[in-house]
Structure 1
Amino acid sequence: MKKATCLTDDQRWQSVLARDPNADGEFVFAVRTTGIFCRRSCRARHALRENVSFYANASEALAAGFHPCKRCQPEKANAQQHRLDKITHACRLLEQETPVTLEALADQVAMSPFHLHRLFKATTGMTPKAWQQAWRARRLRESLAKGESVTTSILNAGFPDSSSYYRKADETLGMTAKQFRHGGENLAVRYALADCELGRCLVAESERGICAILLGDDDATLISELQQMFPAADNAPADL
């Protein structure tokens, strides 16, 4: 049975207690009383130290007769892909009509709130709260574009009432609902493009606030999508 190198067992145990997701992939740990092995970032309750053993990778833990944890899925070979899968899942949870707190979100993706917030922002360039607000804004835009009334669109987007929307009108649409209906008429919209772990990202802003956040694979498609959203606006690259 080959053990992970470089770290002592005491050091490995301390890293398990810390649940640091950035160190996943260096080794896995197994619990003799349950027959399960986990990543060290697993959010499951810690076992007693005397019941824990360490293995260099999932293959060795499997060969020793342990089964992978269904919560942290340590058998997935690519730790970076595993973290990206968690963030993708978090994004989908944030895109539900019912708002979700950071603590509830972290529990559902088996991470601590601190590490989720840090990893989410590093991956998407946005905080979970900002992502949820951007999704609401997208739902609002889609509803307005279909010709729904402002009140109906606000409720469809997940706002509890009209007053909640109007308190955050600028940060929700980056323009008035009327301006949006008219394709950004009389607005100067400036955009910037950058890489993110989900591909290419376009962020557009008017004088009233962020009006679009688009994700895609190439710049030309993102710029074209922005132009389709705001055909009556003066769309141009931002002066950075």
Structure 2
Amino acid sequence: MVIKINLSFEEMWEKIIACDRKYDGLFFTAVKTTKIYCRPSCRSRKPKKVNVEFYYEINAVEEAGFRPCKRCQPEIEQSPHIEIVKNIITLLVNHYKQKIVLKDIADQIGLSPYYLERLFKQETSETPRTYLEKIRIDKAAYLLKSTKMSNLEICYEVGFQSPSNFYKVFRSLNNCSPSEYRKVIPE
């Protein structure tokens, strides 16, 4: 059973432009003109947006006639734990708005909280909490660019429980406040 992440085409496009490793294995980018598919983090030259399709499953992209990129090798699993980590990341991406604690994730995945955190950190170099914060800040940045919602509305929309924590995490990851980000980034 494949669990799909809840990202729009535009959000997935932003992830491939940013070469975002956080989404590797959760979706694949297929280029219609070259018939090649890649990971979101692939460093190859970016295709034209109109030539891109996104797939959630490696089997589906290969059945559609695409071949793997020789640079990022999306068909190769890097770790024996990659499936568990992908499930954790998918859970975080799909439930980023909710208050999530490590025990809830561990119960859902079927591991002890200690082992889950250790395994996740080993594979991603981050804790599930910091990973979740990055997902929330990604969503906030997207909303800052694409909506007229206030910073406070966005704070709660993306799952932060307190505005002070939202501003602190946003500044630490983007080196600016949400208001500064909105002014600097063109729509």
- Using the size of structure 1 for normalisation, the TM-score is 0.39
Q: Which has the higher contact order (CA 8 A, sep 6+)?
A: 2
Larger Rg: 1
* Greater share of residues in strand: 1
